[in-house]
Amino acid sequence: QKEVEQNSGPLSVPEGAIASLNCTYSDRVSQSFFWYRQYSGKSPELIMSIYSNGDKEDGRFTAQLNKASQYVSLLIRDSQPSDSATYLCAVTRNTGKLIFGQGTTLQVKP
Amino acid sequence: SAVISQKPSRDICQRGTSLTIQCQVDSQVTMMFWYRQQPGQSLTLIATANQGSEATYESGFVIDKFPISRPNLTFSTLTVSNMSPEDSSIYLCSAKGQNTGELFFGEGSRLTVL
């Protein structure tokens, strides 16, 4: 079992819709969770961090964490073509190291 | 967030040679890491760069192949030794912020081995 699992996609949504990206992790003691966005040919860019159960909203982005289910998700409201990218879920081990999922490719169609 | 500069940004190398990638952070950070991203793949952690001591390598990565230095809190180097075409990849330097624990990345170094 991989430490961090994501559906590789592609996930295709129409412009203006809500995109829902999901991630599960295997290490129950993980405490910090992150979502990165990576455009083709670019390095990953941090867009959200979440540390406690529940929802965290930042603009059009909402991160959701459920530690009991070992599940973290990212919702993107009012999706725009510029949101088309690969979204990487990352989880911190208790050593402080950040482990990444394989990423979900999002395509927002005009 | 920390600003992380890497160089070279890209290089084309011959099989059997070695290349050193430099990483400079604009502020003191607690932890620095090196990742590899092979074509079409996600990020794989190579090692933690420890200031003033030997790096801590992940399973599958060894010091002889990927020697790492971190002489101070803001600078690190990764060498890819005795390169083969399988080493063609993007190598990313990253640093963890002191207060938030968030990880930030340099622009990456795209390495092509012929």
Closest CA to A85 of A16, A9, A23: A9
What is the C-alpha to C-alpha distance for residues A31 and B18, in angstroms, rounded to an integer?
38
> Which residues of chain B does A42 touch, with a Cβ-Cβ cutoff of 8 Å?
107-108
3-state secondary structure chain A: CCCEEECCCCEEEECCCCEEEEEEECCCCCCCEEEEEECCCCCCEEEEEECCCEEEEECCEEEEEECCCCEEEEEECCCCHHHCEEEEEEEECCCCCEEECCCEEEEEEC
Q: Which of A42, A97, A102 sits opposite B45 (nearest CB)?
A: A97
> Which residues of chain A does B108 touch, with a Cβ-Cβ cutoff of 8 Å?
42-43
**Mutation site for B-interface testing, chosen from A43, A56, A99 by largest number of B Cβ within 10 Å:** A43
B60-69 burial: b if 16+ Cβ within 10 Å, else e = ebeeebbbbb
What is the C-alpha to C-alpha distance for residues B84 and B28, in angstroms, rounded to an integer?
34
Per-residue pLDDT tens over the stretch A21-70: 999 999 888 889 999 999 998 999 999 999 999 999 999 999 999 999 99
> Which residue does chain A place closest to B58, by CA atoms?
A97
Interface of B with A (CB under 8 A): 1, 31, 33, 35, 41-45, 48, 92, 94, 96, 100-108
Q: Which of B35, B43, B96 sits opposite A96 (nearest CB)?
A: B96
Closest CA to B47 of B75, B66, B28, B29: B66
Residue B97, pLDDT > 80, answer: no
Per-residue pLDDT tens over the stretch B32-78: 999 999 988 889 999 999 888 899 999 999 999 999 999 998 999 99
Contact B5, B105 (CB under 8 A): no
Residue A14, number of CB atoms within 10 A of its CB: 10
Per-residue pLDDT tens over the stretch A61-90: 999 999 999 999 999 999 999 999 999 999
What is the C-alpha to C-alpha distance for residues B3 and A56, in angstroms, rounded to an integer?
25
Contact A87, A94 (CB under 8 A): no
Contact A53, A106 (CB under 8 A): no
Type of residue at A34: F
Per-residue pLDDT tens over the stretch B6-34: 999 999 999 999 999 999 999 878 789 99
User: How many residue pairs from chains A and B have C-beta atoms closer than 8 A?
Assistant: 44
Contact B36, B98 (CB under 8 A): no
